[in-house]
Amino acid sequence: MRWYALAIYVFLYLPIVLIVFFSFNSGRYAMDWQGFSFQWYGRAFANRFAMQALATSLEVGLWTAALSTVIGTLTAIGLERTRGWPRRLFDGLIYVAIMVPGVVIGIATLIAFVTLFGALNPLLAHLFGPDGPQLAMGRATVVGAHVLFNLAVVTLIVRARLAGLDRSLIEASEDLYATPLGTFRQVVLPLLTPAILAGFLLSFTFSFEDFIIAFFVAGPNNTLPIYIFSSIRRGITPEINAIGTVVLIVSLTLLITAQFLLRSRDRAVAGKG
């Protein structure tokens, strides 16, 4: 079984290692090693279109993470205090949002936005004239589609932390005549902070590296994964490998940080226990 596990890990991670390795190739062709060089990283960061796509991904990721964190945290707190069939209903909806494939979310949100814009744009044209504002696919639609998935992730992370809170701390705060808002601000929120930060980082990571959902609703805007996909259709170059390596490093850094936050909180809770 050890050799079987090793073979699985090699199969999964060897292509990633090759991308990183050949991103330092001095030659023009992706898989033809000509020597060690950082030139393709310089060209990647000097590529105006790649930097525009990177800026779009960063903006979309930050908006997605912020909205998902706020909505997901409030949802988790609300569900923790809800009982009966409403809680079971929303629990089911949250798990469905996570289990549904990204291509289904992309198609569904595309249809929803097209239908909504088709209904609202004639009204806007009637109110503001033919030269008035019109709704169209863009960064806002990508954020909306990404929030649909990521708020479910944040909700589950924060609810898991809420379930492990020491209720005696909340009761002690109430015994000391703290208001519900004061208890939340001074007791609950500090205890939830690691989970909230982890949810923020995971939401940003999932949004930053997403291609499938963004491909359907991005419109004329290119996120970095969409730019990489478009460039690969013209051939794989060391520059694409360099961009892919940067995305990999950013994603791994954020994921490891989020995991560290969750584990550090687990150790703190275990120590108090």
The amino acid at residue 129 is: G
Give the mean model confidence (pLDDT) for residues 191-215.
88
**Residue 265, pLDDT score:** 56
Has residue 185 been placed in a domain? yes
Please determine, for residue 75, whether its predicted confidence score (pLDDT) is greater than 80.
yes
Q: What is the pLDDT of residue 59?
A: 92
Number of domains in the chain: 1
**Cα 88 from Cα 246, distance rounded (Å):** 41
Q: Indicate whether 7 belongs to any domain.
A: no
121-143: string of b/e by CB count within 10 Å (b at 16+)? eeeeeeeeeeeeeeeebebbbbb
The pLDDT of residue 169 is 76
The enclosing domain of 132 has a CATH number of 1.10.3720.10
Q: Report how far apart, in Å, the C-alpha atoms of 124 and of each of 109, 120, 135, 219, 269 are.
A: 21, 6, 9, 20, 54
Residue pointed to by tokens 């690691």: 194
- Tell me what pLDDT residue 142 has: 92
> What is the residue range of 250's domain?
58-266
Beta partners for residue 25, in sequence order: 36
Residue 272 has pLDDT above 70, yes or no: no
Answer for the pair 97, 155: CB distance below 8 angstroms, yes or no.
no
Both tokens assigned to 40: 């393709």
Cβ atoms of residues 244 and 23 within 8 Å: yes
140 in a structural domain: yes
Q: How confident is the model at residue 30 (pLDDT cuts 50, 70, 90)?
A: low
Quick check: is 272 in a domain? Answer: no
Residue 158 domain-assigned (yes or no): yes
Kindly report, residue by residue over 221-269, the tens digit of the pLDDT: 888 888 888 887 777 778 888 888 888 888 888 888 877 776 765 555 4
Residue 129 Rama label (left phi>0; alpha psi -120 to 50; beta): left
Q: Please tell me the predicted confidence (pLDDT) of residue 70.
A: 92
Confidence at 14, pLDDT banded by 50, 70, 90: confident
- Whether 112 is in a domain gets the answer yes
What sections of the chain are H helices per DSSP? Answer: 2-22, 39-46, 48-80, 85-99, 102-128, 139-163, 167-175, 180-183, 189-208, 212-217, 224-232, 238-272
- Say whether pLDDT at 80 is over 90: no
Please tell me which residue, 66 or 188, carries the higher pLDDT value.
66
- Please say whether the dihedral angle defined by the alpha carbons of residues 209, 213, 215 and 221, taken in this order, is positive or negative: negative
Of the candidates 61, 83, 64, the one whose C-alpha atom is nearest the C-alpha of residue 72 is 64
Q: What is the pLDDT of residues 33-73, one digit of tens each?
A: 777 888 888 888 888 888 898 899 999 999 999 999 999 99
67 occurs within a structural domain = yes
At residue 264, the pLDDT reads 64
pLDDT per residue as tens digits for the range 122-177: 888 888 877 778 888 888 999 999 998 898 989 988 888 887 777 777 778 777 77
The answer to the question of residue 5 being in a domain is: no
